[in-house]
Amino acid sequence: MASSQPAPALPEPAHQPKPQSRFQVIREDPYLEPFEGAIQHRTDRYEKWLDDIRTHEGGVDRFSQGYKSYGLHAQPNGDVRYREWAPNAHTAALVGDFNGWDRAANPMKKDDFGVWECTVPAQNGKPAIPHNSKVKISMTIPSGERIERLPAWATRVVQDVKVSPIYEAVFWNPPESERYVFKNQRPPTPRAPKVYEAHVGISTPEAKIGSYDEFTDNVLPRIKELGYNTIQLMAIMEHAYYASFGYQITSFFAISSRYGTPEQLKRLIDTAHGLGLTVLLDVVHSHASNNSADGLNHFDGSDHQYFHGGGKGRHELWDSRLFNYGHHEVLRFLLSNLRFYMDEYAFDGFRFDGVTSMMYTHHGIGTGFSGGYHEYFGDEKVDEEALVYLMLANTMLHELYPHCLTIAEDVSGMPALCRTVADGGLGFDYRLAMAVPDMWIKLLKDGPGDEGWDMGNICFTLVNRRYREKTIAYCESHDQALVGDKTLAFWLMDKEMYTNMSDLTERTPVIDRGLALHKMIRLITHALGGEGYLNFEGNEFGHPEWLDFPRVGNGESYQYARRQFNLIDDDLLRYKYLYRFDCAMNRAEDEFGWLSSPQAYISLKHEGDKVVVFERGDLLWIFNFHPSSSFSDYRVGTDWAGEYRVVLSSDDAEFGGHARVDKSVRHFTTPMEWNGRKNWLQVYIPSRTVIVLAH
């Protein structure tokens, strides 16, 4: 008989604490918790790729050395072996000067994976394909059409504009006696990168294309003198259209022949290493040129070999092709491309271009990023295959080359971009602070005038960066130097730069304001904006012209495709003042190391006085942006008691200032709270001047 008594109540379950996330970024940022599934899913896909590559290729190290087996390679016995992935091709043959372009002479065989191969036997112990002779792959496709392409892995392509605008591939195999031998070790990884962004072709005052040798001999010493420790070389990967600024790549393994030979680029990098300079390559894996005759597009006659087919494989604004990062052979190609430049040319790392376009299915087109985390996750927004590629690339580079630096060009603010994959991130070392130049240009272009600048907003923009993610700060880059925009110097002084930049002319209010603010904008960006700093060549001395490459619209002129370094060597011109200040700024960072110090404590943002005061790197920084008011005995707070001296003043005569700051004066603190700091001291701070005091 069943009991009529009610069953005893079960005890309440003990509260179980929520298990900690596997990912450090989520443990540190609870706003990421709702998106842990997305982070876990991309990490699972990354780990599956690693497992697949280990199983089928013997690991990432071996997989990413495809450049040693694909393309053309001379063998020890003089044979030349050629391999190419072209799965859609029906037949293939290697043709060139060496066989009279005979399509029947050197046919290729195809394996089960769509890889074609042939060997050209040596002749009398010498390679049958002479060094620097032209080659192509000739293919037929299922429709019966014959197509001819430059080898996708070609390491040298050249252009004879007198004959055709189309590039030709050549077999680069110089004799041992003509091959450059590196002499210098790579320098240690910089404590904090101070990056000089440079383009070899424009690095000469003459209206022409500059060479690797000219850059080595004439520009490298200037970069060293200025105090930069890192060079970012742009437009190195071969691009058929010079005016694309190097962002429409046609041959990924070939360095631009318009500047010189591979051996000359190796000399440039080796010389930079001898000067203690780290060298980064501006790598473009975000898209590829639409060219078919001398690019990857329709390489084997299909629309979807290296790229996605249809609309998914095309960038609307750039008129270029988008890689299929989820394909095994595309990953081999791109990862091997990175290894090639590290191994063959001894680059020290990469600035990845167009990362925003890679990470999102909308490519950033017509999208404004507010910072809400929902914008960074979700299948309809995020290209997870691209994220996984970036995770693979960063992990591979850092594991195989511990000194390697990687920088992401991302405008979106993707969380964990610069955290390791193990932490839940994508693995970059640094991101570019792309909101900072936008702020400065907007202020100078749209106003208000500097008498109305919002000190709080300026400071917020400069320090607004993700926790534990390092940032490269800059107030302008090549983007702001191009026609269609203006450099800071142009926005400040363009009306008078051609008439009043000589010390023999009147120092007008426009020039006086421009010189002062140019220095102050650069230094506050350097000091507050990040853990690294970047400058585009020529901007450091207020280059008087924009940048415009030869094109139909300007009559193919080189007038503006150059950098006039000669201007700083003319002692009568005022450009020298800005150059000297840039040098002093970087040298001071070398001494005091603020870029590798914790983020600044800003004790004062005075909107009426236009004064900003902060502490960073054992230095006390005082900026007076006021256009007319100088302040005597101005009281500022500091946590550090004791004696202070001025170590940098933008008002020094050698920097084009008015010499109103007496740097011999010592300043002493008073132990009393001021602006939230434990002590105060008093300084004279002239209008439109920054002074930096060392404790």
| Amino acid letter, 316 | E
The phi and psi torsions of 589 (rounded to 5 degrees) equal -65, -40
353 is catalytic: yes
Check if 319 is active-site: no
Q: Which residue has the tokens 């620097």?
A: 132
Q: What is the DSSP string of 311-355?
A: GGGEETTTTEE-B-TTSHHHHHHHHHHHHHHHHHS---EEEETTH
542-545 LR contacts (CB < 8 Å, sep 24+):
542/487, 542/488, 542/489, 542/493, 542/497, 542/514, 542/515, 542/518, 542/575, 542/578, 543/481, 543/487, 543/489, 543/567, 544/489, 544/490, 544/497, 544/498, 544/501, 544/575
Q: Which of 97, 100, 95, 76 is nearest to 84 (CA)?
A: 95
Sign of CA dihedral 184, 197, 325, 369: positive
**Neighbour tally for 598: CB within 10 Å:** 10
- Residue 323, C-beta contacts closer than 8 angstroms, at least 6 positions apart: 285, 287, 288, 306, 307, 308, 330, 334
Q: Which amino acid is at 649?
A: S
At 468, phi and psi to the nearest 5? 60, 25
Q: Are 295 and 237 in contact (CB under 8 A)?
A: no
Q: What is the DSSP string of 452-488?
A: G--HHHHHHHHH---TT-EEEE-S--HHHHBBTB--H
The beta strands (E) that lie in 377-523 are given as 405-408, 430-432, 470-473
Give the closest residue to 462 by CA, choosing from 451, 475, 453, 450.
475
Angle at 254 between CA 99 and CA 317, to 5 degrees: 120
Q: Encoding tokens for residue 233?
A: 């070389």
Question: CA 202, 551, 363: angle at the middle one, nearest 5?
Answer: 85
Q: Helix, strand, or coil here: 527?
A: helix
Catalytic residue among 282, 348, 353, 450: 353
Cα separations (Å) of 61 from 123, 407, 427? Answer: 34, 22, 17
Catalytic residue among 238, 409, 469, 615: 409
For the chain, helix (H) and strand (E) counts, in that order, are 15, 29
As a whole number of angstroms, the distance between CA 287 and CA 357 comes to 9
**Burial (Cβ within 10 Å: 0-12, 13-18, ≥19) of residue 70:** buried
Q: Which of 202, 278, 211, 213 is nearest to 536 (CA)?
A: 202
What is the C-alpha separation between 386 and 286, in angstroms, rounded?
9
Please give the positions annotated as active site.
353, 409
